[in-house]
Each structure stands twice: as structure tokens, then as C-alpha cells.
Homo-oligomer: A and B are copies of this chain.
Amino acid sequence: MIDENLLQQFGAGSITIKKGDILFEEGDTAKYFYQIKSGEIKMNNFNDEGKEFIQSIFTKGNCFGEPPLFINKPYPANAVAITDAEVYAIAKESFFRLLFANPEAHLSMTVNLAQRLYFKSVMASEISSQEPEHRILKLIDYFKESVSKLQPADKYKVDLTRQQIADLTGLRVETVIRSIKSLEKKGLLIIEDRKVYR
């Protein structure tokens, strides 16, 4: 989201993490601004029974974990590498200096937060009050449109496992598998060689 040169100019370092590594944990104090250079990071929580909930999945170019920087609260979730990844990290103070010196960068941060709040709003109403099939479709459509920047007419290959869809929607794997089957029967998506297309 923020120009790489600008990040480096303000002293950003680069961190290399392996698949499965934890960048920060729920409850930690936020000290750095992070932006992905390569790879994928997810933010998640585990409830009392150990069930995972994925807040979001971030890919190349995305920044994540900023809200706590602005409001002085601990992280509400963990950040875990889904694949090997490289991440820019810049100290909180430098980050704020960067924002004040670059109004456009600040605006793009604001736009980014607005974007994510928008997504959370849409998913919140889905998760709370819709049937599984509806939730799953909405999630897939969000990924198709906002993550992959595709048009409704394009054919989109869902790059999420059934388990990940379950963890993103708060459902169980079995329910996701059955719902996806049912959605295929209704012609709302296609399963080819176990892969889901929409």
C-alpha cells in the first residue's frame, strides 16, 4: 500500500519468515508497521475450544496490523505466515513521521482502513445472520472482486481450502464441503477436479 522506496527511505527493515512462523501474537504490543514484500500472511484467533477464526488473509503489497498502532491497544489477533514470506517492518515512530511527511501516503492508509472496515461490515452481517451457503458465496465473491480484482463474468479459481473457508466464515469443514456441493448443484459455482471455480 505504501511505496517501497518511501518505506526504505524512512528506515524500514526486511524480515524473512517461514511458513507457519508467527510474526506477532494476540495481546502483543504493536511496535511496527508491516507490509508484505512476498508471500501470504493470515491474521487469526482461536476460541476457547481451540477453533480457528481467520480475520483476513493478506498478500503481496498489503499492509496489516496497523489499527493497534493508532489506538494503543494490543493486537486483537495473531499474524501467521501461510507461505514463506518477506515482510517490510518499520518502527512505529518512523511510520508516523512518514505519514506526516507524506499526506498521500496517509490518505492511502486511510483508504486501506476504510476498505477493510467495509469488508468487515459486509462479512459481519453475513456471518451473523445468513445460511452457510450465503456466507460462503459472499466470501468467495469478495475474494474474486477485491483480492483478485476480477469482473463478475470472469472465471475465478478459488484459492482457498475448504478448511480456510470454514475458518473465515465461522463454519465447520464438513458444512463447507456439503454447502459447496449444494451450491454446485444449484449452478452457482463449479467444481472441477476438486477445485472450486466461480
Per-position binary interface string of chain A over residues 96-115, scored 1 when its CB falls under 8 Å from any chain B CB and 0 otherwise: 00011001001101110111
Closest chain-B Cβ to A13's Cβ sits at a distance in Å of 23
Q: Is the CB of A67 within 8 A of B128?
A: no
Per-position binary interface string of chain A over residues 123-144, scored 1 when its CB falls under 8 Å from any chain B CB and 0 otherwise: 1110111100010000000000
Q: Is the CB of B114 within 8 A of A71?
A: yes
Q: Is the CB of B121 within 8 A of A124?
A: no
A47-B118 CB under 8 A given contacts A71-B111, A103-B100, A106-B110: no
A53-B103 CB under 8 A given contacts A67-B114, A117-B116, A121-B76: no
Q: Does A149 contact B (CB under 8 A)?
A: no
* Range of interface residues on A (Cβ < 8 Å): 35 or more
Q: Which residues from chain B contact A106 at a C-beta distance below 8 Å? A: 103, 106-107, 110
A127 interface neighbour in B77, B114, B127, Cβ under 8 Å: B127
Q: Does A163 contact B (CB under 8 A)?
A: no
Q: Which residues from chain B contact A118 at a C-beta distance below 8 Å? A: 67-68, 71, 73, 76
Inter-chain pairs besides A71-B115, A106-B107, 5 sampled, C-beta below 8 Å: A48-B130, A68-B118, A71-B111, A117-B120, A127-B170
Pairs across A and B, CB under 8 Å, 27 listed: A45-B129, A47-B129, A47-B130, A51-B129, A53-B125, A55-B124, A66-B114, A67-B117, A70-B110, A70-B111, A70-B114, A71-B111, A71-B115, A76-B125, A77-B121, A99-B107, A103-B103, A106-B106, A106-B107, A109-B110, A113-B113, A113-B117, A117-B117, A120-B120, A120-B124, A127-B128, A127-B170
